Amino acid sequence: MCRKLISTALAAALCAGVAAPSLAAGGYNDFDAITSHVNLKVPARLTLTRPEKDVSTSAAAYFITGGSDPDEKLTMNGEAVSGRGARGSFGVLVALQKGVNTFVFRNGGRSEEINITRGADTPVTITNIRSAVPSFDCATYSGETISLQCTAPSGAQVTATVGGRQVALKQAAATAVAGVPATFSAKTTAGEVDGTRNLGPVTYTMTYKGKTSSVKSAGSVYLTGSGSRLYVEVKNVAASVYKDAAASAFIETAKGGAVDYVTEVGNMYHLSTGGWIPKESVQPLEEQVNIRNRVSDVSFEQAGSGEYYTFHGTANTMFRAYMDGEKLYVKLFNTTGIADYEDGMADGSDLFDAVRVTEEDGDTVMQFLRSGSRRLWGYDISYDDGDVILYAKYAPRVSGGSQPLSGVTIAVDAGHGGADPGAIGIPGTGGAMEKDITLASAVAVQKRLESLGAKVVLCRTGDDDVDMNKRMQITLDNRADLFISLHCNSLAYTKDMNTIGGTEVYYFEPISKSLASTLSANVAGYTGRTNRGAKQSNYRVTLNAFAPSVLVEMGFVTNPTEYDSMTSRNGIYQTANAIGDGVLAVLGV
């Protein structure tokens, strides 16, 4: 029987509550073991979550959401509500007449009434400063303008102070109601400095209703003198570099620690090596740094998971690289000296037969020709105080028997966490949110993969704030063979969300496409959701080039049926099985 038929049979068996058929890796009859940790909260009684109270809106329709007792009939104005999940979550799109629209819901002896007035939107007011710019360290040149902006209550008086200079901000537009969020902005001309200087964060001061308060921006403003160069260092583990300032085409991935100087400042920085990089991806440097790399030696080392080439040099230079069926191509910008070591660079390699080295206008291009005894799985480039280190990863080897993934390392990332809840589902904050669903799912996937013999590294093990760089670094430090980041999708409740759902998986590197396609089909098939397919996009966690890396959108938390499935033990069990079988398929088991 082919794998597709086995997978379909498994899903059907699970839904029917009967024993699952035997898979290539062994029968999955361990429901309690895989889902024993799952206890995701979903209100199982009548409650309205959107809106929670009477509201006014200018819209002609409204998607009302809430929870209910799934064992009792749910009605709205006497009519049965059909858009319900297995755990009682529901959503219903209602048309609104002008004036007051009253909706009465009844379920299991309980009733809730909500009034939605079609007229003007209910104003939301604030009393503090928000969205203070800049949110990250950024730089400009002397004589150029510095843009200052924040959100504050309409009618407030706001000033900004940067580098000892105070500027009054203007409200972008008048509002009918005082106190609603309004944009305040101003521009000031940057003064002259020598070199590059950190002016510090911007202090925004607001006077509103007789009270004065201040906040500082999270990022600082850097200023580079008109006769000086602005140097930047990549601060993210991986960052995208684009062909133009509109980010219309991707050129390369820059790695943390790489340095270059800026030739033009716009909404992004234009680098001397070509391409535009987002300002939030790099750190402006106050000192001038060397970007000319002279390699004085090349060393080679084999490790358990791959091979390392260390180019002992003088600068952390930018690079451009890719791999195909014939070679690994690496271009090191502003680098010379490697050509002296071309002969013998492939000696001892199980991946490459030869390395061809050429110098082009002060840059070095290396082509590692692939025909060794081991298969190249991926690559990574890192820096160590002027040394450039190329890591070429071996393809993982799988075994037979009941634990075919023995020796394979897989990083599983539960998206969001801590102060970042991710998407808010049908019950609002009163039920499981995206961060809760992804963690419960990640632990189940860990258990399934470990049952198949894999070593599994969780990037988040609790309700913690783990930034993107740390998640990617954990994956790299463990030399993972696969990286799977779990997320939940969502959309604004402007349409009938009962009709919008499905699974989609994002990837960037070509080596990740097969994993993305397989997981999207498997998760959709095992859970009964629509397969929205594999989609290429440069989300940060998909930029790993040393191993297939994907971001899985398991389903929509704004769809009642999918929300209830993703929070249920059975839905999470099916997802774990789908990912386990998907990994087996991709690795050829």
SS3 assignment for 280-347: HHEEEECCCCCCCEECCEEEEEECCCEEEEEEECCCCCCEEEEECCCEEEEEECCEECHHHHCCCCCC
Q: What is the mean pLDDT of the chain?
A: 93
**Structure tokens of 545?**
């080039």
pLDDT tens per residue, range 112-160:
999 999 998 889 999 999 999 999 999 999 999 999 999 999 999 999 9
**Residue 479, phi-psi category: left (phi > 0), alpha (psi -120 to 50), beta (remainder):** left
Q: Cβ(345)–Cβ(298) under 8 Å?
A: yes
* Number of other CB atoms surrounding residue 59 within 10 Å: 11
Q: Per-residue confidence at 26, pLDDT binned at 50, 70, 90? A: low
Comparing 30-34, 82-86, 146-150, the range with the smallest average pLDDT is: 82-86
CA dihedral 239, 240, 242, 248 (to 10 degrees): -140
Tell me the one-letter amino acid at 67.
G
Q: Give the closest residue to 253 by CA, choosing from 549, 552, 542.
A: 542
Which long-range contacts does 39-42 make (Cβ < 8 Å, 24+ apart)?
A: 40/431, 40/432, 40/436, 40/437, 40/440, 40/567, 40/568, 41/427, 41/430, 41/431, 41/432, 41/436, 42/67, 42/87, 42/88, 42/89, 42/427, 42/431, 42/432, 42/563, 42/564, 42/567
pLDDT tens per residue, range 492-522:
998 999 999 999 999 999 999 999 999 999 9
In angstroms, the CA 139 to CA 520 distance is 41
In angstroms, the CA 525 to CA 245 distance is 40
Whether the pLDDT of residue 2 is over 60: the answer is: no
pLDDT tens per residue, range 435-488:
999 999 999 999 999 999 999 999 999 999 999 999 999 999 999 999 999 999
Separation of first and last alpha carbons in the chain: 14
Q: Per-residue confidence at 17, pLDDT binned at 50, 70, 90? A: very low
**Structure tokens of 391?**
């890591």
Q: Give the closest residue to 329 by CA, choosing from 300, 366, 356.
A: 366
Strand partners, 364: 332, 359
Q: Per-residue confidence at 373, pLDDT binned at 50, 70, 90? A: confident
Averaged over 553-557, what is the pLDDT?
Answer: 98
**pLDDT confidence of residue 22:** 37
* Number of other CB atoms surrounding residue 215 within 10 Å: 17
Q: How far is CA 470 from the centre of its chain?
A: 12
Q: Per-residue confidence at 388, pLDDT binned at 50, 70, 90? A: very high
* Number of other CB atoms surrounding residue 22 within 10 Å: 13
In angstroms, the CA 481 to CA 548 distance is 7
Q: Cβ(111)–Cβ(93) under 8 Å?
A: no
Pairing outcome for strands 196-208 and 110-118: unpaired
Give all domains of the chain, ordered by start, each with its CATH number. 3-36+401-586 (3.40.630.40), 47-118 (2.60.40.10), 138-223 (2.60.40.650), 230-285 (2.30.30.40), 293-394 (2.60.40.3500)
Pairing outcome for strands 503-507 and 531-536: parallel
